[in-house]
Amino acid sequence: MPLVATAVEIRELNKTYRGIMPWTRSAVHAVRDVTLSIPQGEIFGLLGPNGAGKTTTIKMIAGLIVPDSGTIEFPAHGRRPRLGAVLEGSRNLYWRLSAWENIMYFGEVKGVSLRQLKQQGLELLELFGLAERRHRPAQTLSRGMQQKLAVVLAFLGDPQLLLLDEPTLGLDVASSQTIQELLKRLCRERGYTIVVTTHQMDVAQSLCRRVAIMREGAIALSDRVDALVDLFKRQDYIVRLDSRQWAPLAGELGGFDFELLPEERDGQVSLRFKLRSAQEVYPLLAAFGRHNAELHDFRQELPTLEGIFLSVTTNNNGLPVAGAPHGEGQR
């Protein structure tokens, strides 16, 4: 298995905000003992509800906020990597300048050569579908286009680390998906390391290989998305069969914990079985077999990242809870 270099190594990071005026000195603990390791060449998701400490963490990585204690290192890149960032969404742009003028300005401030800038700028504008409108002032572009332009600016100069704070917030489904697809493509093809914060779980599940879920400033859970799905997986199975066959079966299934799902379509009903272990699948199938029931669907119900997120952020220990996976240990 190839060794993956670490792009960002965060250790015991803490941040408490205090106002500068005597009457605003009450403390807000924004980040508490955050320790994270973000591998190079991956999209890493920092998830959490509002006020969980995601933006503070990402801004500390960017050097915009000074931590109270703890360290942030970039082992794969040395002291400070070339950064790209979308921190305020479409507010990152100079609204009076055109898309192209924004590219030229930020590219030159980043130190990108004029030649590379022209080539890369045009390439990125085409990739994000903005080439046709590159000479229009940013303020006349739609919200989605402005957001895409902000992402384009972040990619200028081939950054070693991209920090995207809610890059798809407030976008329609199509624009959001376009940005997600392009981020995945650029990460795959060019090996960018991307840290993305979001509270849109579908976006995180689609984009990220690894995530950390933050709650009240601390990391509640951090792992690969597939590992989290595994961790939170229950022995829940969805079965769909003809409504006509359901009535004679009802008595036979009395020994199982199940519920009839409200949806009924095409003359079929769906049932959710909560089994105690995977071994229980066999007697369940045998019961259907005895009645020659024709099953249209039989599948294990996997948890979504949204379900995991809700479970983590709404209970006390951040681990699978009531009705959660059997026999899963604490992590």
Q: Are 321 and 254 in contact (CB under 8 A)?
A: no
Q: Any residues with CB less than 8 A from the CB of 295 and at least 6 apart, and which?
A: 239, 240, 241, 288
Between residue 126 and residue 185, which ones bind another protein under the rule CB under 8 A? 137, 153
In sequence order, the 6+-apart residues with CB closer than 8 A to the CB of 2 are none
- Interface map 85-124 toward another protein (x if CB under 8 A): x-xxx-xxxxxxx---x--xxx-xxxx--x----------
CB of 168 to another protein, least distance (A): 17
Which range of residues in 11-19, 218-226, 228-236, 280-288 is near another protein by CB under 8 A? 11-19
Nearer to another protein, 94 or 323 (CB): 94
Least Cβ distance, residue 150 to another protein (angstroms): 9
Q: Which of 7, 8, 10, 15 binds another protein (CB under 8 A)?
A: 15
CB of 259 to another protein, least distance (A): 47
Tell me: does residue 256 bind another protein (CB under 8 A): no
Is beta strand 258-265 parallel, antiparallel or unpaired with respect to 268-274? antiparallel
Q: Which of residues 181-220 bind another protein (CB under 8 A)?
A: none
Q: CA 21, CA 42: separation in Å to the nearest integer?
A: 41
Q: Residue from 19, 75, 255, 283 that binds another protein (CB under 8 A)? A: 19
The Cα–Cα gap between 311 and 168 comes to: 23
Minimum distance between the CB of residue 64 and another protein, rounded to whole angstroms? 5
- Binding string, residues 31-50; x marks residues near another protein by CB under 8 A: --------------------
Structure tokens at 284: 């369940």
Using CB under 8 A as the binding rule, the residues of this chain from 62 to 81 that contact another protein are 62-66
Q: How far apart are CA 257 and CA 236, in angstroms?
A: 10
| Contact residues for 241 (Cβ-Cβ < 8 A; gap 6+) | 249, 268, 269, 271, 288, 293, 294, 295, 296
The answer for residues whose C-beta is within 8 angstroms of residue 237's C-beta and 6 or more apart is 272, 273, 275, 281, 284, 298, 299, 300, 301
- Can you give the binding site for another protein, defined by CB under 8 A? 15, 17-20, 30, 56, 59, 62-66, 83, 85, 87-89, 91-97, 101, 104-106, 108-111, 114, 137, 153
